[in-house]
Amino acid sequence: MLRLMLRRSLLGLAGLLFAHPIQAQTGPQPKLPEEPLVIVTRDGKRHEFRVEMALNMDQQMVGLMFRPSVGPNEGMLFDWGQPRESSMWMRNTITSLDMVFITADGHIHRIAERTVPYSLAAIDSRGPVRATLELAAGTAERLGLRIGDRVIQRIFGNAN
């Protein structure tokens, strides 16, 4: 009986896989809609960005893969919808990034600087976050970003 149940489960799973074939991503996704984002550092300096909004799973799975560069005031914001653990990787990402993990109230929880292109190593938030912001590598250092700095953006309910 157990063998029959296992076989039916595997057949059902195979049917799902073939009904929705997975296509390999071979190039960058089209630019996503952009919104403003501001980071306010502990000394009160405001740093303005235009970020692409990755709002659904398809957009989030591709992210900045295959993009040759990210501008100094550009980035991509991954909105998880509600606080959760965030785990990112650099598969097919050809440029180094800074990853900024942001709490539901819009404060920086963790910064992973100068990530390694093409790496499959997990880059974890180390706690629940509402969003992950990807910026050009070196941005966090250049602007002096630190844990606790404030991120202003509509998804955190703190934008005017």
CATH of the domain at 100: 2.60.120.1140
Count of structural domains, the chain: 1
The answer to whether residue 86 is domain-embedded is: yes
The answer to whether residue 13 is domain-embedded is: no
By residue range, what is the domain housing residue 85? 33-156
Print pLDDT tens along the chain (160 aa): 444 344 444 444 444 444 445 456 678 888 999 999 999 999 999 999 999 999 999 999 888 988 999 999 999 999 999 999 999 999 999 999 999 999 999 999 999 999 999 999 999 999 999 999 999 999 999 999 999 999 999 999 998 7
pTM for the model stands at: 0.83
The answer to whether residue 94 is domain-embedded is: yes
The answer to whether residue 127 is domain-embedded is: yes
Evaluate the CA torsion angle 40, 75, 79, 83 in order and state its sign: negative
